[in-house]
Structure 1
Amino acid sequence: MTPPDEAYAALLRGIAPSGKNMSNAHLRGVFEGLGFERVSSVLASGNILFRAPAQDVPGLEASIEEALRSRLGIGGGTIIRTLGEMQGLLDRDPFAGLTHGPGTYLTATFLKAPLDVEPPTDPHPLTRIIGYDAAARAVLAVTDNSVPGTTGNWMAWLEKTHGRDITTRTWLTVQRIVAKLA
């Protein structure tokens, strides 16, 4: 018997809408070529949604990365979350009472592997760590980005600790992904 379909979000790292071969149409084409169903995109920053039989997520990530590399020459990382993981993150409402805007830029940094060190409590004077959501494997932060260069130390810590196996999305993007996946 075939496993039931699962709704997935592929969060691609290093996608620039103006980059050669990085358009949503090109990205969707790779996913459709892998046989995935109901392939769609959210914004132009590497958020590809699809349905496929439930399967091993690390293997799924590896096959997508290989296809992106071989078909489009894109070498960035791929982080997969299921609809359930993304919906659960929204339902836990880590940013309760906060509104996304210039003074409160809400972000979720998704990690391939679980966080094995505590994030810094004060990575930058204008960045506040809300916490780590273990179920979604996401570090949640609020940044005052009304001043240029406010995320430098925070993003540098994330990259030093986790390398390329991370990708950051705004809270608004996470909400859009869940709404479209559901």
Structure 2
Amino acid sequence: MRTYIALLHSIVLGEGRRVVMSDLKEVAEGLGYKRPRTLVATGNLLFEAPVKPLVEIETELERAFEKAFGRHVDIILRFAEDWVRLADGNPFLPESEKDPSNVHVRVMRSPLEIEVQGKLVGYCSRGERVAIVGGDLWIDFAGRASGSKLLGALTTRRLGIGTLRNWNTVRGLRRMAGG
């Protein structure tokens, strides 16, 4: 058995409908995953399962999610020890500690090439900074993320499948993963 962390790209099912975390845990249990638990109500799931390639479990979860909720949602998976490494690689740690809501990581299904970083710098108009670490994109929004032009460039079409998590969530999942 191995501990996995699953990140849902979205928990929105339609107007006024969101995935309830207890229902998400039931989906995981239905797949035979052990000890499913969630962190905040934003689509973060930890569980134990037999060792398999990440893509196999991502596919199982996405199919089960669609069957249970009637909507496809991309799900990004990491081994718990890889999540600890991700958190430990935060290039904006001092800023993260000052205001955890200003620093985010876009966790990618497929690693980003380093050239992407240069392409995103042009969208950094308010002091934002970006860094690719281990194929994931770290962002210091230098203030409220919602006011940044950079958000518009962080699409699946431009970057591939990924999902954003702020430093509070990254840190919480790290604790839950045993790091």
Structure 1 range deviating more: 64-73 or 11-20 = 11-20
Shift of 1:19: 5.2
Match of 1:35 in 2: 32
Match of 2:92 in 1: 95
Match of 1:169 in 2: 165
Give the % identical residues.
23
Shift of 1:145: 3.7
Off by >3 Å, runs of 4+ in structure 1: 16-21
Match of 2:54 in 1: 57
Structure 1 stretches lacking a partner, 5+ long:
none
Q: Distance in 1 between matches of 2:37 and 2:146?
A: 33
Is the CA contact 1:12–1:78 (under 8 Å) kept in the aligned structure 2?
yes
Match of 2:129 in 1: 129
Which structure has greater helix proportion? 2
Q: Distance in 1 between matches of 2:86 and 2:4?
A: 14
The residue type equivalent to 1:154 in the other structure is L
What is the TM-score when the length of structure 2 is the normalising length?
0.86
Match of 1:139 in 2: 137
1:62-81 alignment runs, 5 A limit: 62-81=59-78
The residue type equivalent to 1:170 in the other structure is N
Shift of 1:93: 3.7
Is the CA contact 1:124–1:150 (under 8 Å) kept in the aligned structure 2?
no
Match of 1:12 in 2: 8
Q: Distance in 2 between matches of 1:100 and 1:140?
A: 16
Structure 1 residue 156 corresponds to structure 2 residue 152 = yes
Q: Distance in 1 between matches of 2:98 and 2:76?
A: 23
Structure 2 stretches lacking a partner, 5+ long:
none
The residue type equivalent to 1:142 in the other structure is D
User: Number of matched residues?
Assistant: 172
The residue type equivalent to 1:68 in the other structure is F
SS at 1:97 equivalent: helix
- Per the alignment, do residues 155 and 36 of structure 1 end up closer, same or farther by CA in structure 2, a change over 3 Å counting? same
What is the TM-score when the length of structure 1 is the normalising length?
0.84
